[in-house]
Structure 1
Amino acid sequence: MALNKDIHKVMVIGSGPIIIGQAAEFDYAGNQACRALKSLGLEVCLVNSNPATLMTDPHMADEIYIEPLTLKTIERIIEKEKPDSLLSTLGGQTALTLSMELAKSGFLEKHGVKLLGANPLTIDKAEDRQMFKDTMLKINQPVIPSKVVTTYEDAIDFVHNEIGLPAIIRPAFTLGGTGGGICHTEAELDEIVKNGLHRSPIHQILVEKCISGWKEIEFEVMRDSAGNVITVCS
């Protein structure tokens, strides 16, 4: 694919510390992305809160900011560096959440910054539990009985009247599923539902029938806009 001539300076958001949900592969991927961008003659501005990474080596980017990965920090650096593009798909949940906040608030549009890698709608379809479920049903893919709720009462009602215990609680837009879990008892249901709603930045959880004991088969592929597909792992 030919390089978009409108892209001259790209900001890359790193993943920060290596924790559950944001492992070392993000550092490696970000490292390769910075190399690729620089090889194309683009100016690269990197933001990462973790100095002990490959990404923050001096030769990886033209400008490197080792600062907290917060909304205010990213906004300040964008205003100073004036990138025309933002690449956030290599920084785990933290970078995705930050990019969505910047996009939905209108900050990126106001400053003429284009989101690369994945647009807000695509990120929403993967992160928003209801949108993901609707997308799967639209392409005739089977889904486990579930319901997206935003209140404690709706969650308890769905479990009691539709799926029973055990049930799985999955908060939306949280790092590595933080706040979720499997509920085997009424006490666990009460605690995890409340915690999941609290942890989700949009106060949304998916209440799902537990299928513990089933075999999980994972098959990952990558596809570009031209329809080229490769298997990543299985």
Structure 2
Amino acid sequence: MAKRALILIEGNPRGLGLLFVQAAQRLGLHPITLSADPSRYDYIAAERLEAIRVDTDNLNALIGECSRLLATYDIAGITSATESFYATVGKLCRYFDLPGPNPASIERCCDKSAQRQFLTEAGIPIPAYRLATNAAEVESSAAEIGLPVILKPAVGLGSRGVRLCRNVDELAEHTTYLLGGKHIWRDSPRILVEEFAQGPHYWIDIMGNEVVGISAADFGPPPHFVFRECTYPAVLTDDEHDRIADVSLSCLRALGLGWGPTNIELRWTKRGPIVIEVNPRLGGSPAPELVQLAHGVDLVTGLIKLVIGEEWNLRRTHSHAAAARWLIADRDGTLDWIGGDSRAAAVSGIADVKLYIKPKMPIVRKGDHRDHIGLVVAASPSRARTEAILQRAVDLIGWSITPFPPPGEQE
């Protein structure tokens, strides 16, 4: 009898990819990663996992590789831990008659401009926005909306190219950055000029049509949106929880989602909940880990069961508080040393400590998720205790960065 395989289109270098692999193995599946560059994912070599080099931007190449694998394996399901390939996953699942997301719904969701059009037509509250393709349109759009505004690529991930522009100088500076060749566009440049909705920021984790939980997220200093901390579950009144859940489920209906996971970001403003973004995937790591620590709900395993056509449930087994703190570099330069992670990991209540960088690596801050140099995760029965545990562990970690020499100077 052929071995049952789970095909993973690309991986994820910061935790989620390994969670997918481990969940697949617990379910008795053989994970196979198809990637344009498998060496990007350290866990593939460390765990001696099967990986095949293939052009993952080429649907026909992926179909050919999966067809070849069918000669050896029973392909139980196909999925990805990366949003960029989720529409491709949907197309592969349809080709091979496997459970999967609707690719058209995923594509309209991943284009932030199209997403906003559908949400607007459904009457869902979102920030005022305009779509611009050149500097003049950016300037006129910002004038119509009123400063401050947020500029962001219409298609993108991880807050890349996203910035708060508080005055005309910042607006001009970031427009030049986006259109002047420093930002990498896969297609023609399209920029969203968006009202800055102010208020607490929340993540909503959904599986199918069920809200699993709501977490509160916090950013580092403006003008960038680099996540600093996430606490689960968020402190909300019953009315706030219900209104957030209602608007989140309305997003699914508006965008044709509801199969598998969805992660929604919104802010609670003077007008109530305003939807910032709908992501047709699991929340990035550590969101699934926090859900499991807080409630015992394993979203990754649930997704893989859904992918392979097995029954899954979201039954909570306990109610704890979980929180994560990202470590963020305070300057550009060369990392001299970083340490204390072992002592931090030994603190009672700490669930995970990750360092993403090593000594002698150059640190060049980008103003997005790539600025994270580490992560600490804690959990306990109470919110106050979890916060205290997290802070104690973070205080044990230290590092030193030597600034780069000024241009023209030799070391």
TM norm structure 1: 0.65
Write the letter of the residue equivalent to 2:142: V
Partner of 2:10: 14
SS of corresponding position for 1:155 = helix
Partner of 1:206: 192
Partner of 1:4: none
TM norm structure 2: 0.40
* Correspondence for 1:216 among 200, 203, 220: 200
User: Judging changes above 3 Å, is the alpha-carbon distance between structure 1 residues 16 and 56 closer, same or farther for their aligned structure 2 residues?
Assistant: farther
* Correspondence for 1:80 among 61, 65, 74: 65
Alpha-carbon distance in structure 2 between the residues aligned to 1:30 and 1:123: 20
Partner of 1:21: none
User: Higher relative CO (CA 8 A, sep ≥ 6), structure 1 or 2?
Assistant: 1
* 1:15–1:94 Cα contact (<8 Å) kept: no
Sequence identity (%):
21
After TM superposition, which residue ranges in structure 1, 4 or more long, deviate above 6 angstroms? Answer: none
* 1:222–1:231 Cα contact (<8 Å) kept: yes
SS of corresponding position for 1:231 = strand
Partner of 1:118: 101
Write the letter of the residue equivalent to 1:134: Q
Unaligned runs of 5+ in 1: 1-7, 19-23
- Partner deviation per Cα, 1:110-136 (whole Å, 9 max, x = no partner): x94568643322222332122221232
User: Which one has the bigger helix percentage?
Assistant: 1
| Residue-pair matches, total | 199
Alpha-carbon distance in structure 1 between the residues aligned to 2:193 and 2:169: 16
For 1:143-158, what aligned pairs fall within 5 Å after superposition?
143-158=126-141
Partner of 2:17: 27
SS of corresponding position for 1:158 = helix
**Shift in Å at residue 54 of structure 1?**
6.5
Q: CA RMSD in A?
A: 3.6
Write the letter of the residue equivalent to 1:71: D
**Shift in Å at residue 176 of structure 1?**
0.8
* 1:169–1:205 Cα contact (<8 Å) kept: yes
* 1:174–1:199 Cα contact (<8 Å) kept: no
Unaligned runs of 5+ in 2: 70-74, 216-233, 235-411
User: Which one has the bigger strand percentage?
Assistant: 2
Q: Which protein shows a greater Rg? A: 2
* 1:30–1:55 Cα contact (<8 Å) kept: no
Alpha-carbon distance in structure 1 between the residues aligned to 2:124 and 2:157: 25
SS of corresponding position for 2:42 = coil
Partner of 2:167: 185
For 1:36-185, what aligned pairs fall within 5 Å after superposition?
39=28, 44-47=31-34, 48-53=38-43, 57-58=47-48, 63-65=50-52, 67=53, 71=57, 76=61, 78-82=63-67, 86-88=78-80, 90-91=81-82, 93-96=83-86, 99=88, 112-113=95-96, 117-160=100-143, 162-185=144-167
* 1:178–1:199 Cα contact (<8 Å) kept: no
